């Protein structure tokens, strides 16, 4: 787990000078003592890896058993040309390490499904991409039981998401404007006696936030009165995610442009089945969604990877309020939304 007193060398202090100025030495020390597991080295995984390596974690393990294909390398800038047929994690290793020699970057060519429970316990944060719903729920449970920060994310065409479970009691500090209390000598009416905010001075405030499991977040009871009241403001991307994860479970892959007609029909059928099982109507996710959820879009990977990397950094450094607990990005609109779903 994260060491409380990591030592920052002079070389590291110079390397991370701007970050230390931004979030403080203590936060950088916690980050510098953290080890992260990143599963899935497609476009989104490459963006997350870049952000974590540049931020200065202690170690990053890239885990991916898949081989490089022409499609998988389009949005993946860590894979050099001519790498088709090579393992994705191994092919990404050299460029990833070059980003920051101070970070221990490793490649693991086995599958996440083959890893024993104890494998995940050596990390302070685990981030899963390109994984099945069952595996994410399983690893999330392992992380929760062992006080390990869990993250998940994926990009499907123009749509992307991230999820975080930082445990029942995630502690962090947040910088707030300092409240200046009036001195006893001041006695010039009621306004003078009120506490005032001094924007030129700040103070660090300790806070705690609780998170639910991924299983609870995905299995909201939409027939309850409380859930019904929030349905209108729930992003439709939440339900799109449910459909795409079910497709991945049923087919063992994501929707593919080469099989667009057949996959489109299957997506519509899964949409109907998934929403019906939730007690919801198909109109909640209009048919047009099938045109925007194929392959990975590099710009969407960049946005979602930036947010996901930032959230992992915030969680490990214990600096600033975390997103709770979903972030959805719609590349067509160029906008994202944070929403809290599940029992908190």
159 and 129 inside one domain = yes
**Which pLDDT belongs to residue 200?**
66
State residue 198's pLDDT score: 62
**Whole-angstrom Cα distance, residue 154 to residue 131?**
9
Cβ atoms < 10 Å from Cβ of 177: 13
**Res 204: pLDDT:** 85
What pLDDT, on the 0 to 100 scale, is given for residue 65? 97
Statement to judge: residues 70 and 137 lie in one domain: yes
Whether residue 209 lies inside any domain: the answer is: no
- Quickly tell me which residue has 């221990």 as its tokens: 104
In 3D space, the residue among 304, 313, 336, 321 whose CA is nearest the CA of residue 30 turns out to be 313
The verdict on residue 1 lying in a domain is no
Residue 161 shares a structural domain with residue 239 = no
* pLDDT computed for residue 343 by the predictor: 75
β-bridge pairing 125-129 and 35-39: parallel
Beta pairing, strands 326-330 & 125-129: unpaired
Same domain, 50 and 94: yes
Evaluate whether residue 30 is within a structural domain. yes
Task: Classify residue 253: in a domain, yes or no.
Answer: yes
Q: pTM for this one? A: 0.91
CATH number at residue 107: 3.40.50.720
- 28/144 same-domain check: yes
Domain annotation covers residue 5 = no
3-state SS of 172-190 is: EEEEEEEEECCCCCCCCCH
**Do 165 and 176 have their domain in common?**
no
Judge contact between 315 and 167, C-beta under 8 A. Answer: no
User: Whole domain around residue 183: which residue ranges?
Assistant: 172-204
Q: What does each of the 344 residues of the chain score in pLDDT, given as a tens digit?
A: 555 557 788 888 888 888 888 888 888 999 999 999 999 999 999 999 999 999 999 999 999 999 999 887 788 999 998 899 999 999 999 999 999 999 999 999 999 999 999 999 999 999 999 999 999 999 999 999 999 999 999 999 999 999 999 999 999 998 888 776 665 555 555 555 566 666 667 788 999 999 999 999 999 999 999 888 999 899 999 999 999 999 999 999 999 999 999 999 999 999 999 999 999 999 999 999 999 999 999 999 999 999 999 999 999 999 999 999 999 999 999 999 999 998 75
* Same domain, residue pair 19 and 31: yes
Residues 107 and 232 both lie in one domain:
no
| Residue closest to 316 by CA, chosen among 177, 89, 127, 142 | 127
For position 189, what pLDDT does the model report? 57
Q: In the chain, how many domains are there?
A: 3
Same-domain pairing of 114 and 28: yes
**27: in domain:** yes
Do residues 26 and 162 share a domain? yes
Q: What is the CB neighbour count within 10 angstroms for residue 147?
A: 15
Residue 124 is assigned to a structural domain of this protein: yes
Q: Looking at the structure, do residues 18 and 144 belong to the same domain, yes or no?
A: yes
Based on the fold, state whether residues 30 and 96 are members of the same structural domain: yes
Q: Which of 252, 271, 291 is the last residue of a domain?
A: 291
The answer to the question of residue 344 being in a domain is no
Domain limit, last residue, from 181, 204, 227: 204
């Amino acid at each position: 787990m994260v060491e409380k007193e990591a030592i920052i060398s002079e070389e590291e202090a110079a390397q991370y000078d701007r970050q230390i100025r931004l979030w403080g030495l203590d936060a950088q020390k916690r980050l510098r003592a953290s080890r992260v597991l990143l599963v899935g080295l497609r476009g989104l995984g490459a963006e997350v890896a870049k952000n974590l390596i540049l931020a200065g974690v202690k170690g990053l393990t890239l885990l991916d058993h898949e081989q490089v294909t022409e499609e998988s390398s389009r949005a993946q800038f860590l894979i050099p040309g001519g790498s088709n047929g090579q393992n994705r994690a191994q092919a990404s290793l050299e460029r990833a390490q070059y980003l920051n020699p101070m970070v221990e970057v490793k490649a693991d060519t086995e599958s996440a499904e083959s890893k024993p429970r104890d494998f995940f316990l050596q990390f302070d944060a685990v981030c899963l991409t390109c994984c099945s719903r069952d595996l994410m729920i399983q690893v999330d449970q392992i992380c929760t039981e062992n006080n390990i920060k869990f993250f998940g994310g994926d990009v499907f065409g123009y749509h992307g998401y991230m999820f975080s479970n930082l445990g029942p009691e995630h502690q962090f500090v947040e910088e707030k404007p300092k409240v200046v209390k009036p001195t006893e000598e001041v006695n010039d009416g009621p306004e003078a006696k009120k506490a005032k905010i001094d924007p030129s001075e700040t103070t660090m405030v300790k806070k705690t936030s609780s998170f639910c499991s991924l299983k609870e977040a995905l299995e909201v009871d939409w027939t309850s009165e409380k859930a019904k009241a929030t349905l209108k403001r729930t992003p439709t991307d939440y339900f799109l995610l449910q459909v795409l994860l079910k497709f991945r479970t049923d087919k063992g892959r994501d929707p593919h442009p080469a099989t667009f007609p057949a996959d489109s029909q299957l997506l519509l059928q899964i949409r109907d089945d998934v929403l019906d099982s939730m007690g919801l109507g198909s109109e909640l996710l209009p048919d047009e969604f099938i045109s925007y959820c194929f392959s990975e879009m590099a710009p969407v990977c960049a946005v979602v990877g930036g947010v996901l990397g930032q959230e992992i950094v915030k969680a490990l450094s214990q600096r600033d309020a975390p997103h709770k607990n979903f972030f959805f990005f719609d590349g067509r609109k160029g906008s994202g939304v944070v929403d809290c779903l599940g029992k908190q």
